[in-house]
Amino acid sequence: MSSTPLAPAAAGTLAVEAARRRTFAIISHPDAGKTTLTEKLLLYAGALGGAEAGAVKARAGRRDSTSDWMELERTRGISVSSTVLRFEHEGHVFNLLDTPGHKDFSEDTLRVLSAVDAAVMLIDAAKGVEPQTLRLFEVARARRIPLLTFVNKYDRPGMEPLEVLDHLATTLELEAVPLNWPVGLPGAFQGVIDRESGLFHRFTRTAGGARVAPEQILRAGDADDDPEWARAREELELLDAVADDFDPDAFRDGSATALFFGSAVSNFGVGPLLSALVRLAPAPSPRREVDAAGEPNGARELDAPFAGLVFKVQANMDPRHRDRIAFVRVCSGRFERGMRVVNGRTGRTLAMAHAHEVFGRERALMEEAFPGDVVGVVGAQDLRVGDTLYLDVPARFPAIPSLAPEFFVFVRNRDSARYKQFRRGLEQLDEEGVVHVLRREAAGDPVPVLAGVGRLQFEVAVNRMENEFGARVGLDEAPWTVARRTEPGDVPTIREATGAEVLVRADGTQLAVFRSEFVLQRLERDHPELTLDRLLTR
């Protein structure tokens, strides 16, 4: 393929297609209703093909959650892995990157946030901003990701709307601008008033929220005899008098959020949120590049030759095929199936022949894709999280950060006859970022160490080792409680400290680990010149 600029017609097509893309994630605390909201957005977009929300028909009559495809997710009732859901609505192509809500899987969410252009922050109306929501919000703010905030479970008792505004301003130091307003107190939710049109959208419940809820639209005067309508109008008049109007620029730079009220399980307010994603969520824009040292190096324009970022690697999504899929966010140019691209990390050429459009664990061949799309590259064994792929003109995107682990265990193979499976399974889980697999090279200890942000990561690792690789493993507690990334030159000093050790990741990253926070603080005090970073990279 040529590196010459696209022909005018082709360039025009690329610009139009990029403008149709909306690539976003949903971030929340566990149990805020993220998986339910994901399913309801698909329902309202018509992406479930007639299936009820919360279930899609699969082979042999099975009904599986669209986004929670892993067996452990269904048995535990939590999301432990991000998934990609691609669908169309109102002439736009959505790439919804569903993320784990549990704090133990924060690293997976960090990887997803490196690939989106916007996010929906989901908040429980009764609980408000919870710790995991706050943690993810801080990441989104640092990346200046535009946020739409959905106050969920408004059909249950919770904070009144004016309380919600005050809570968000106090907790997040974020200006929240309501684009709709609830009619009815929490627990007696009737619908929402669209602030721009002034129309009252009155919702009717459906059995189990499985179908799109019937909606009655009333104009001013049609509902004047309803006391809850009158109350909502008074609140809006007060809001109009004291609050600023919605500022698109403040929204785009992440300093203000568009606020919506609803109940995902009852389908209240889901439609307005989906329409707002069409109107407000930004289309893809030129992506920042860095040089070999990681320093800013301009931006890659959308019409530059193809470049993409590998933000996730997942094996065995379909146990019938036992394959491996790398998720690539298209950042510039047009992707065409079969094209040969270069992996910037290795310099090797890769033929993108097995490229798929992804919808949960379902997939179909993808012939072409445009900026904002996510391509599933099947069987690419050399691809790692954070790799940049490019055609003709080299590209390098910023490294994807990961969090310093806080929990450590030794992992032992319990079946010597299956050592190859044990080794291959650990390599796979490390490459995917399920856990960090570390080794004590200086001590000559062959027993690997698993490290993670939370203990549930170890449960996932053990489950997948046994079910996908046929390797039975045992875990023993390791003595460390805190870790920091360090540099090779600092290793001798760290190893001299009592209660400190240095472990090595497969990619060569040096990880200083400590038996307590006190040991770390003492080392930082005595040797301020040492590199001890909280964030790692992949």
- What domains are there in the chain, each with its CATH number? 26-72+118-280 (3.40.50.300), 287-390 (2.40.30.10), 404-537 (3.30.70.3280)
290: DSSP letter: E
Which residues, including other chains, have CB under 8 Å from residue 339's CB and lie 6 or more apart? 1, 306, 351, 352, 391
> What span, in angstroms and rounded, lies between the C-alpha atoms of 91 and 277?
12
For residue 106 the two structure tokens come to 């924060």
Question: Is 161 assigned a ligand-binding role in the annotation?
Answer: no
Question: Is 186 assigned a ligand-binding role in the annotation?
Answer: no
**pTM for the full predicted model:** 0.85
128: DSSP letter: B
- The closest alpha carbon to 422, from 412, 432, 430, belongs to 412
- Contact yes or no for 37/122 (Cβ under 8 A): yes
> What span, in angstroms and rounded, lies between the C-alpha atoms of 171 and 168?
5
Residue 453 neighbours by CB distance under 10 Å: 22
Distance set, CA 131 to CA 112, 264, 327, 403, 534 (Å)? 19, 21, 28, 16, 19
Instruction: Output the pLDDT for position 58.
Output: 34
> What span, in angstroms and rounded, lies between the C-alpha atoms of 340 and 306?
10
Instruction: Output the pLDDT for position 3.
Output: 41
> What span, in angstroms and rounded, lies between the C-alpha atoms of 69 and 86?
15
Question: Is 32 assigned a ligand-binding role in the annotation?
Answer: yes
Question: Is 34 assigned a ligand-binding role in the annotation?
Answer: yes
> What span, in angstroms and rounded, lies between the C-alpha atoms of 198 and 215?
15
Question: Is 101 assigned a ligand-binding role in the annotation?
Answer: yes
Residue 147 neighbours by CB distance under 10 Å: 24
Question: Is 153 assigned a ligand-binding role in the annotation?
Answer: yes
Can you say how many angstroms the Cα of residue 447 is from the centroid of all Cα atoms in its chain? 32
**Hey, is 130 helix, strand or coil?**
coil
For residue 59 the two structure tokens come to 């082979």
Question: Is 98 assigned a ligand-binding role in the annotation?
Answer: yes
Which residues, including other chains, have CB under 8 Å from residue 424's CB and lie 6 or more apart? 469
Instruction: Output the pLDDT for position 317.
Output: 63
Question: Is 29 assigned a ligand-binding role in the annotation?
Answer: yes
- Contact yes or no for 154/125 (Cβ under 8 A): yes
Question: Is 31 assigned a ligand-binding role in the annotation?
Answer: yes
- Contact yes or no for 186/125 (Cβ under 8 A): yes
Question: Is 28 assigned a ligand-binding role in the annotation?
Answer: yes
What is the sign, positive or negative, of the torsion defined by CA atoms of 449, 421, 403, 99?
negative
- Contact yes or no for 390/305 (Cβ under 8 A): yes
Question: Is 100 assigned a ligand-binding role in the annotation?
Answer: yes
Question: Is 155 assigned a ligand-binding role in the annotation?
Answer: yes
Taking 70 as the pLDDT cut, the residues of the chain under it are 1-11, 49-82, 100-105, 207-208, 220-221, 223-224, 316-322, 361, 442-445, 538
Q: What is the residue type of 11?
A: A
Strand segments, DSSP code E, in 31-98 are 56-57, 63-64, 83-89, 92-98
| Strand pairing report for 118-124 and 21-28 | parallel
**Hey, is 420 helix, strand or coil?**
helix
Question: Is 35 assigned a ligand-binding role in the annotation?
Answer: yes
- Contact yes or no for 188/203 (Cβ under 8 A): no
Instruction: Output the pLDDT for position 67.
Output: 46
- The closest alpha carbon to 278, from 17, 53, 25, 23, belongs to 23
> What span, in angstroms and rounded, lies between the C-alpha atoms of 342 and 344?
6
Q: What is the residue type of 100?
A: P
Residues recorded for the chain: 538
For residue 233 the two structure tokens come to 């109008």
> What span, in angstroms and rounded, lies between the C-alpha atoms of 44 and 54?
12
Phi-psi region of 482 (alpha: psi -120 to 50; beta: other; left: phi over 0): beta
Strand segments, DSSP code E, in 229-384 are 256-261, 287-290, 296-300, 307-315, 324-332, 335-336, 340-343, 349-351, 355-359, 362-365, 368-369, 374-378
Count of CA atoms in the C-beta half-sphere (13 A) of 321: 13
Instruction: Output the pLDDT for position 94.
Output: 95
What residues are paired with 368 via a beta bridge?
A: 336
Instruction: Output the pLDDT for position 139.
Output: 82
> What span, in angstroms and rounded, lies between the C-alpha atoms of 467 and 448?
20
Can you say how many angstroms the Cα of residue 298 is from the centroid of all Cα atoms in its chain? 25
Instruction: Output the pLDDT for position 59.
Output: 30
